[in-house]
Amino acid sequence: MRSFSILLHALCPTIIISSAHAAQQKRQESPGLLINPPGFFPLPTPHAPRPEPLISSQPQSEQFTLNLSNIQGDILISPSAVNIAFSNSGLELLLGVTNLTASGDPFAAGQASDAFNLGDPSPIQNNWIPGFVDTAALHGVFLIGAQNTSLANDVLDQIISYLNDSIVEIYSLQASARPGDKEGHEHFGYLDGISQPGISGFTTNPVNGQVVIPPGIILLGEEGDPVVRPEWAQDGSFLVFRQMQQLVPEFDTFLTNNALMIPEITTLEEGRDLLGARMMGRANRAFPLSDNLTLAADPNLNNDFNYTLTDDNSLCPFASHIRKSYPRSDLDETTVDNLHRIMRASTPYGPEVTAEETASNTTTFDRGLAFGDLWL
């Protein structure tokens, strides 16, 4: 048995796209894995009507147009869920080939070769987790979602015991949702996961502003996938995983020191909020002064915008995070833009900022975003 090098990644709690096999085995449901803070739209679910709605979505099983017995993209609501993804070198090992992907293809080359284009500081050896640097040596990743850390660790132990010495653990990261009213927020304090593309066949009741895209934009071989895929790849997806450290006290200090002030009109808090909002493209509920909380908490309002009326750069700068990563009406939303849509499933990792870190404006404990994306 050839040895596989696997990046093990324990998440708790998060939403994981399961394999069809796991989904069939784990149809039972219990609350906890899904979080539903104010502002989140109900997630589509392929499940039959549930005894006790976890979230305010209507059962959508009857309305499905995709063949779910043949689909790997199944939102699983269960105490735990496992997803496995392989790198190009991992797939070549599994398939016993050396030419799976044309050389120069970004999937074959891996993220390291694209680090410069991604804006990662150079050399990556100084800034990347060592296990990520040698792309060819990294064969795959397990994403484990669970209601709590001890269950995530149990699932991890189970996987390791099943696979025995056929895998080598390169690296493992434990993520965790933020507590209390920070639920659903990333460490800078912004609610995350509001905007997702709707998927034709899954998303039967899109919220206002949610563009529904063909399933083949996310699921290989489905309608809308412009590439002919090998049979085994049908209904799989590409997964990007990045661990991104966030320097929260430093970010806050930067906002304070560079607050956008209108003398004698804005308070320091407002100026700080405004700069953060212009960098992110969304307001921060930690600084509610310039935010409309009614709008923020309503999934039918909080994503219902485009840049058609604001393309002068004054309300949402071109350089803001959300406008750069999804330019909406800046590009033709029905074509180019949508071909590059991604399904985000990130979870924060690391502890809450401590009082000492806040007082010193300096990060002591590693924290950030365990960033997982599906795309095509």
Ligand X SMILES: *[C@@H]1O[C@H](CO)[C@@H](O)[C@H](O)[C@H]1NC(C)=O
CA nearest neighbour of 308 among 320, 323, 289: 323
**Is 366 an annotated catalytic residue?**
no
- Partner that binds at residue 322, options ligand X, ligand HEM, none, CB closer than 5 to 8 Å by kind: ligand HEM
Alpha helix stretches (DSSP H) within 196-354: 248-257, 268-280, 293-296, 321-325, 336-339
- DSSP state for residue 205 in the 8-state scheme: S
- Partner that binds at residue 246, options ligand HEM, ligand X, none, CB closer than 5 to 8 Å by kind: ligand HEM
- Of the candidate residues 25, 113, 122, 150, the single one contacting ligand X (CB under 6 A): 150
Enclosing H/E stretch for 89: helix 88-95
How far is 51 from 271, CA to CA, in rounded Å?
A: 48
CB of 207 to ligand HEM, least distance (A): 12
Find the binding residues for ligand X in span 16-55 (CB under 6 A): 30
How far is 129 from 24, CA to CA, in rounded Å?
A: 35
- Residue 273 touching ligand HEM (CB under 6 A): no
Provide the token pair at 56: 């305010």
Query: Mapping DSSP to helix (H, G, I), strand (E, B) and coil, where does residue 93 land?
Result: helix
> Radius of gyration over alpha carbons of the chain, in Å?
21
- Could you give phi then psi for residue 85, rounded to 5 degrees? -135, 145
- Of the candidate residues 35, 301, 315, 322, the single one contacting ligand X (CB under 6 A): 301
Residue with tokens 């050396």, as numbered in its chain? 98
- Residue 322 touching ligand HEM (CB under 6 A): yes
| Contact string (CB under 6 A) for ligand X, positions 160-189, x = contact | -x--x-------------------------
Q: What share of the chain is helix, strand, coil (3-state, %, to 5)?
A: 30, 15, 50
Q: Catalytic pick from 114, 120, 154, 192?
A: 192
The one segment of 7-15, 50-58, 76-84, 183-191 that binds ligand HEM by CB under 6 A: 183-191
- Of the candidate residues 253, 290, 310, 320, the single one contacting ligand X (CB under 6 A): 253
CB of 222 to ligand HEM, least distance (A): 20
How far is 144 from 157, CA to CA, in rounded Å?
A: 11
- Partner that binds at residue 150, options ligand X, ligand HEM, none, CB closer than 5 to 8 Å by kind: ligand X
Find the binding residues for ligand X in span 304-363 (CB under 6 A): 306, 308, 329, 333, 360-361
- Partner that binds at residue 306, options ligand HEM, ligand X, none, CB closer than 5 to 8 Å by kind: ligand X
CA end-to-end span of the chain: 31
Find the binding residues for ligand X in span 229-248 (CB under 6 A): none
- Residue 67 touching ligand X (CB under 6 A): yes
- Residue 188 touching ligand HEM (CB under 6 A): yes
368: alpha, beta or left? (left if phi > 0; alpha if psi -120 to 50): left
- Residue 195 touching ligand HEM (CB under 6 A): yes
- Residue 177 touching ligand HEM (CB under 6 A): no
- Give the CA angle between residues 153, 156, 158 to the nearest 5°: 115
- CB-based contact 50:59 (threshold 8 Å): yes
How far is 175 from 154, CA to CA, in rounded Å?
A: 15
- Of the candidate residues 145, 193, 216, 271, the single one contacting ligand HEM (CB under 6 A): 193
The one segment of 11-19, 221-229, 264-272, 293-301 that binds ligand X by CB under 6 A: 293-301
Residue type, 85: A
- Residue 99 touching ligand X (CB under 6 A): yes
Summarize as ranges the residues that interact with ligand X (CB under 6 A): 30, 67, 69-70, 79, 99, 147-148, 150-151, 161, 164, 253, 256-257, 292, 294-295, 301, 306, 308, 329, 333, 360-361
Active-site residue list: 192
